[in-house]
Amino acid sequence: MRLELRLSELVNMKKHSARVAPLSACNSPVLTLTKVRGEDRPRENIVGNADGQAMVGGAGVESGAGRQRLHCCVRVTAIQVRKAIWGVAMVMCVCSSWAGSTQLAKLTFKQYDAPFTLTWFTTTWNCLFFPLYYIGHLCKSPERQTPKQRFRECCRFFGDDGLTAKVFFTKVAPFGLLWIMTNYLYLQALRKINSTDVSALFCCNKAFVFLLSWIVLRDRFMGVRIVAAILAIAGIVMLTYADGFHSHSVIGITLVVASASASALYKVLFKLVLGSAKFGEAALFLTIVGGANFVFMSFVPVILYFTHVEYFTSIADLPWAYLCGVAGLLLAFNILVNFGIAITYPTLISLGIVLSVPVNAVVDLYTCDIHFNTVRLIAVFIICLGFLMLLLPEDWDQCLIELGTIWPGQGGFGGLHQSYTNIGSPAQEESGDDREQPQDSMMLSLVGILRDTAMDLSQERV
């Protein structure tokens, strides 16, 4: 009895250490606020079901459990196939919306050169997030709530008191400023350099997210992500060298790197201050950002108009088709990035962002005067390569080793897996977080428990 009790205590202790692992901000798509569905699912249910099946005897029960496991495997496979199909569609939608908004913004500046007004106009469209979410809530949720009830429930995300003035100015307004800064710097960069370089350089924000999360959130150190960050920095330098360090090129690259840095700071600070938001909470947050932008930032386009910095002769002369097109595509992009994880994998959503780089390159090749020299091609390639390396999961090396066990023969990956199992993972031994320990440490703990139990039993007999 004591042995079973101590074994259960050890398992519970390991489960608790897995739950309090550091918060990761690098595994989710760019600028996403919502949590991945299923990440808060308790592992106790899985372990409990496995233990219950192991304790039940009988051939009939085993055959029933086997059929149940087969049914679960078929169901899981069907779910994965469905999510993969949705993921392909999501990749195309994210890629087209991000590349389309970039190209339309470039065309807008040819008729109306007003980057801040365009930023203000597109950010105001964020007010549509919560209404669109509520329409989806009415269509999908079995328990329908009134807009006021749903609003109050989502306001709990900001604390027990809800959305107060103090919470707004301390936890919402700074992120609104970062949102405006990110978009404004990105649009300013489009005025200086081509869309291909801007979209490629903006992919560096994934590397900046990793560096900031490593420093601020004490995220896990991963060598492959350090290499990806180095590749991103090398790509920035090579793109600067590709145009010969001209003033417009250097300014444009500086602007887009600053935009990527603001995007990374926005995401990491959101994880640090507010944590992960559910779908309704994220929709409410973005709606508040859009409303605050309309209320508090409307005076800036007015000042720019009267100072003739962003001037237009009449409202009818504005390119409303381009303006609404950019705003609509950016709204669709943000909806897909923040809520697309409900139907597919976050990695596939991130692939849509990096695939917008070759799409912009093809469009620039036929619409503007751009020279794709060897240095520019290599720079864009290594930036995209670094972005893809940052999409690797934390246990990618372990997954590679487990795949190696399928390799026929004793050499190659099989021998590597055997030596890895005997020695233990150095990354797990040296990391300071509360992740699982190697197998030899587990065996030592079990031996210690057995020894203590034997001593207790001998004392009771005496």
Residue pLDDT, tens place only, 259-288: 999 999 999 999 998 888 889 999 999 999
Selected residue with higher pLDDT from 114 and 83:
114
What pLDDT band is residue 163 in, cutting at 50, 70 and 90?
confident
pLDDT at 342: 80
Per-residue confidence band for 403, with pLDDT thresholds at 50, 70 and 90: low
Check pLDDT > 90 for residue 48: no
Give the integer Cα–Cα distance in Å for 36 and 393. Answer: 14
Task: State the Cα–Cα distance between residues 161 and 155, nearest whole angstrom.
Answer: 8
Residue 337 has pLDDT above 50, yes or no: yes
Which has the higher per-residue pLDDT, 135 or 399? 135
The answer on pLDDT for 391 being more than 70 is yes
pLDDT(420) > 60: no
Residues 6+ apart with CB under 8 A from 274: 157, 158, 171, 285
pLDDT winner (highest mean) among 30-34, 42-46, 295-299, 346-350 = 295-299
| Exposure class string for 8-34: b at 16+ Cβ within 10 A, else e | eeeeeebeeeeeeebeebbbbbbbbbb
Which of 114, 90, 168, 68 shows the shortest CA–CA distance to 326? Answer: 114
Is the pTM higher than 0.75?
no
CB neighbour list of residue 172: distance below 8 Å, 6 or more residues apart: 158, 163, 285, 288, 289, 292
Can you give the pLDDT at residue 376? 83
Closest CA to 435 of 422, 424, 421, 450: 424
pLDDT over threshold 60, residue 369: yes
pLDDT of 240: 79
pLDDT at 65 over 80: no
CA angle 397, 261, 157 (to 5 degrees): 85
Whether the Cβ atoms of residue 347 and residue 394 lie closer than 8 Å to each other: no
What pLDDT does residue 277 have? 86
Residue 293 has a pLDDT of 95
Arithmetic mean of pLDDT, 10-36: 41
User: What pLDDT was estimated at residue 5?
Assistant: 43
Mean pLDDT of the chain: 75
H or E stretch including 237?
helix 223-242
Name, in order, each residue with C-beta under 8 angstroms of 305's C-beta and a sequence gap of 6 or more.
Answer: 311, 312
Which whole number is the average pLDDT over 87-104?
92
Query: What is residue 319's predicted lDDT score, i.e. its pLDDT?
Result: 92
**Calpha distance 319→392 (Å, rounded):** 42
Q: Quick check: 241 pLDDT over 60? A: yes
pLDDT digits (tens, 9 = 90+) for 114-162: 999 999 999 999 999 999 999 988 888 788 888 888 888 999 888 888 8
Whether the pLDDT of residue 14 is over 70: the answer is no
**433 pLDDT more than 50:** no
Answer whether residue 179 shows pLDDT above 90.
yes
Task: Note the pLDDT of residue 330.
Answer: 95
